[in-house]
């Protein structure tokens, strides 16, 4: 008995010793901060934060890989509690919502397929390909619904997922699981930045619209009587809707698929109808905007493009200010459009809508006279965009009697040539000059520059040497004058310090290799200054080895100079050799239409947005461009011919009984909206057309 007790006691001691050793060997340290954050998180484990579970997200927050407000299943109170644990502050997070990107489901398809008992969209797409008629159509099996942890999704009667935005947290589970990429997360920023791709159900009219307005959707909402929603869709891409409804060339109507049957839908007239509804109700309907970013953006030029750039910048959450030379905004629209087509009250209405979005305006302020770009950067602006317009705009505002100089050291070639015969036009070129382009006017420009003391003249030519505008004798003559021509290149960036230009960057168009060249003057061979985005290269003063006034070289001082750079806008990937200034994608005088200038302003706002955050912007794969080859249909069947409704413009608004439209009446607008076929990329809803 005693022997058994001794043996059991010894065994217990041995086991205890082993356990002590094991606890030391296999002990896993738990960070108390991770434990505290994990306890605060709701434990939903939905994956919306991008990590597999709340514990993993807590660890990521501590490691700096996830933000304190990354949990999409929790509210602001949880974010504040985590922030208190971490000892940091919380900033606003832009809300994101899921939304379907296809226009119809199995209920409206021309042909349905049985998936042999398969009840998962991913399996159906992998095994059978899904619906064959609309290749990007929703399979309608509801896998996205099962993936949603918050009950925010359901499948509607039309076979498409429906999103309850009150419940949607933007976790992205539905987006990740959908094999057809039909349902996607969206936000204000995403909708402004996005460019359309071949995989999306983009209608022919939307592809033709320079601004990319979702025409099918706003026409559908007019048909349903939802004018508020229709205006929201239009203003997602259009800050001048009422103006454009009067003067747009309506390129969308030339690509309207209804033309295969009879006449195009009166798309622009329908836009006018719903915009007049807003204006005559005198109740502003604004699109959504992102939370305030704390960033300051300056736009030089109060024309269509400049105001559009400021409008979209404000919607991206930035503090945008427009600097305009004249006393009135609107640019060439205020001077060059006949009053019977565009009355000033319509223009002022749309401009006020831009101001109401939060855009500040400073009129009577001319770049180079009242301020400079380095001045603005020195006053805390994070970026400056120039949209001063072309030669036509200068004529309209009476600005051709002197040389324009929007940024230090840069002038237009046309002003240099005119300065030789007009003493009032002063071009302050210095010793080392770079000429961008020039063409047949280059020899005259060289003579003027040489006469004014230029030591070095370098020409940046986009053309290869064998496609030069000059014959051999002219080239030899330029060489004798000390002119160096660098062929097959384009300027991608300009650099400076304070009020002086210091250099340019150019790219070899065939190889993509970039070079930097010192210069103090730049002559641009176009009718307008290129669309550049400027930013400071340093955010604060730095201590350096400088020679202070009254001091000796090498003593410590504070260098308060302002280095800056101007960067070209992103180019579309629809052609090679498009990098650099004066490419085929660059505007060299004026935009062909106001609607194209609006899209230019949006793209500028996108470029500014990426630049100030240091994000490298890349166009999406398979982006739709003018050169894209897309599937299409050649004929329509089962479409009853229906004549287009003619717009009869009333002399005054009071003439209309409905008191809000100077164009279509309510009945006519609804009738015209019903003519829309509701097109998709390669399909249309035959069961829904008349």
The DSSP code sequence of 592-632 is: SSHHHHHHHHHHHHHHHHHHHHT----PPTTB--TT-----
Evaluate if residue 672 carries a pLDDT over 60. yes
**Residue 360: per-residue pLDDT:** 97
Residue 550 lies in a domain: no
pLDDT interval class at 156 (50, 70, 90)? confident
Residue where a domain stops, chosen among 41, 73, 93? 93
pLDDT tens digit sequence for 550-601: 444 444 555 678 899 999 988 876 555 678 988 888 888 888 899 999 999 9
Residue where a domain stops, chosen among 93, 110, 128? 93
Mean pLDDT, the chain, rounded, equals: 81
State the CATH number of the domain containing residue 58: 1.10.15.40
581 and 448 in one domain? yes
**Residue 96: per-residue pLDDT:** 57
Residue 564 lies in a domain: yes
597 and 463 in one domain? no
254 and 109 in one domain? no
Residue 624 lies in a domain: no
Q: Are 503 and 486 in contact (CB under 8 A)?
A: no
279 and 317 in one domain? no
529 and 455 in one domain? yes
- Domain count for the chain: 6
144 and 3 in one domain? no
441 and 337 in one domain? no
Predicted structure pTM score: 0.78
Residue 394 lies in a domain: no
**Residue 245: per-residue pLDDT:** 94
pLDDT tens digit sequence for 93-117: 555 555 555 555 666 665 566 667 7
Range among 61-65, 183-187, 515-519 rated most confident: 515-519
472 and 575 in one domain? yes
Range among 34-43, 123-132, 411-420 rated most confident: 411-420
Q: What percent of the chain has pLDDT over 90?
A: 39
For the ranges 40-44, 262-266, 285-289, 376-380, which has the lowest average pLDDT? 40-44
**Residue 347: per-residue pLDDT:** 95
Residue 37 lies in a domain: yes
Calculate the CA 335 to chain-centre distance: 28
570 and 427 in one domain? yes
Residue 168 lies in a domain: yes
DSSP summary character for residue 214: -
CA distance 165 to 155: 15
**Residue 174: per-residue pLDDT:** 85
276 and 228 in one domain? yes
Question: CB atoms < 10 A from the CB of 123, how many?
Answer: 16
State the CATH number of the domain containing residue 427: 3.50.50.60
pLDDT tens digit sequence for 643-653: 999 887 666 65
Residue 553 lies in a domain: no
130 and 229 in one domain? no
First to last CA, the chain: 101
State the CATH number of the domain containing residue 679: 1.10.1060.10
Question: Closest by alpha carbon to 508, among 584, 579, 586?
Answer: 579
Residue 197 lies in a domain: no
The mean per-residue pLDDT over the stretch 442-469 comes to: 90
Evaluate if residue 28 carries a pLDDT over 60. no
State the CATH number of the domain containing residue 155: 3.30.70.20
Question: Closest by alpha carbon to 267, among 280, 277, 279, 254?
Answer: 254
531 and 433 in one domain? yes
Of the CA atoms within 13 Å of residue 229, those in its CB half-sphere come to 11
Evaluate if residue 333 carries a pLDDT over 70. yes
Can you give the residue range of the structural domain that contains 143? Answer: 97-187
């Amino acid at each position: 008995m005693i022997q058994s007790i001794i043996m059991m006691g010894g065994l217990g001691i041995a086991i205890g010793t082993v356990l002590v050793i094991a606890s030391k060997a296999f002990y896993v340290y738990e960070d108390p901060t991770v434990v505290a954050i994990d306890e605060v998180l709701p434990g939903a484990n939905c994956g919306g934060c991008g990590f597999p579970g709340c514990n993993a997200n807590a660890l990521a927050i501590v490691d700096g890989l996830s933000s304190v407000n990354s949990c999409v299943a929790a509210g602001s109170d949880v974010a504040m509690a985590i922030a208190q644990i971490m000892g940091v502050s919380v900033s606003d997070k832009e809300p994101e919502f899921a939304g379907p990107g296809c226009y119809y489901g199995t209920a409206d398809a021309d042909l349905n397929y049985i998936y042999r008992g398969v009840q998962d969209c991913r399996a159906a797409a992998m095994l059978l390909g899904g619906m064959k008629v609309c290749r990007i159509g929703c399979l309608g099996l509801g896998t996205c619904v099962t993936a949603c942890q918050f009950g925010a999704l359901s499948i509607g009667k039309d076979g498409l997922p429906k999103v309850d935005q009150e419940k949607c947290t933007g976790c992205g589970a539905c987006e990740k699981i959908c094999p057809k990429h039909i349902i996607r997360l969206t936000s204000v920023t995403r909708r402004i930045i996005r460019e359309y791709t071949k995989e999306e159900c983009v209608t022919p009219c939307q592809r033709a619209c320079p601004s990319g307005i979702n025409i099918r959707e706003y026409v559908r909402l007019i048909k349903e009587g939802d004018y508020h929603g229709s205006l929201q869709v239009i203003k997602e891409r259009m800050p001048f809707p009422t103006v454009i409804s009067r003067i747009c060339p309506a390129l969308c109507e030339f690509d309207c698929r209804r033309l295969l049957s009879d006449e195009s839908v009166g798309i622009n007239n329908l836009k006018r109808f719903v915009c007049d509804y807003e204006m005559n109700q005198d109740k502003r309907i604004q699109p959504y905007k992102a939370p305030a970013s704390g960033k300051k953006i300056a736009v030089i030029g109060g024309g269509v493009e400049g105001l559009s750039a400021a409008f979209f910048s404000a919607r991206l959450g930035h503090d945008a200010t427009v600097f305009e030379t004249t006393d009135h905004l609107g640019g060439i629209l205020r001077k060059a459009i006949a009053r019977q087509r565009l009355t000033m009250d319509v223009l002022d209405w749309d401009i006020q809508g831009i101001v109401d979005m939060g855009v500040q305006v400073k009129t009577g302020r001319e770049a180079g006279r009242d301020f400079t770009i380095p001045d603005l950067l020195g006053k805390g602006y994070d970026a400056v965009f120039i949209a001063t317009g072309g030669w036509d705009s200068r004529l309209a505002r009476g600005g051709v009697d002197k040389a324009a100089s929007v940024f230090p050291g840069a002038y237009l070639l046309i002003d240099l040539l005119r300065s030789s015969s007009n003493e009032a036009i002063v071009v302050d070129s210095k010793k080392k000059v770079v000429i961008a382009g020039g063409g047949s006017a280059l020899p005259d420009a060289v003579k003027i520059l040489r006469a004014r003391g230029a030591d070095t003249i370098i020409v940046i030519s986009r053309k290869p040497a064998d496609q030069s505008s000059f014959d051999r004798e002219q080239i030899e003559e330029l060489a004798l004058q000390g002119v160096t021509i660098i062929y097959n290149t384009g300027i991608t960036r300009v650099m400076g310090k304070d009020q002086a230009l210091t250099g340019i960057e150019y790219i070899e168009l065939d190889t993509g290799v970039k070079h930097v060249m010192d210069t103090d003057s730049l002559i641009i061979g176009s009718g307008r200054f290129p669309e550049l985005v400027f930013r400071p290269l340093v955010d604060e003063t730095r201590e350096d080895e400088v020679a202070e006034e009254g001091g000796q070289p090498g003593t410590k001082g504070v260098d308060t100079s302002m280095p800056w750079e101007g960067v070209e806008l992103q180019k579309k990937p629809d052609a090679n050799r498009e990098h650099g200034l004066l490419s085929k994608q660059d505007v060299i005088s004026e935009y062909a239409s106001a609607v194209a200038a609006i899209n230019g302003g949006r793209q500028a706002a996108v470029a500014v947005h990426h630049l100030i955050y240091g994000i490298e912007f890349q166009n999406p794969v398979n982006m739709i461009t003018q050169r894209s080859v897309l599937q299409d249909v050649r004929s329509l069947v089962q479409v009853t011919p229906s004549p287009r409704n003619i717009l009869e413009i009333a002399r005054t608004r009071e003439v209309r009984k409905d008191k809000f439209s100077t164009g279509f009446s309510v009945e006519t607008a609804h009738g015209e909206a019903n003519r829309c076929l509701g097109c998709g990329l390669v399909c249309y809803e035959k069961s829904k057309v008349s």
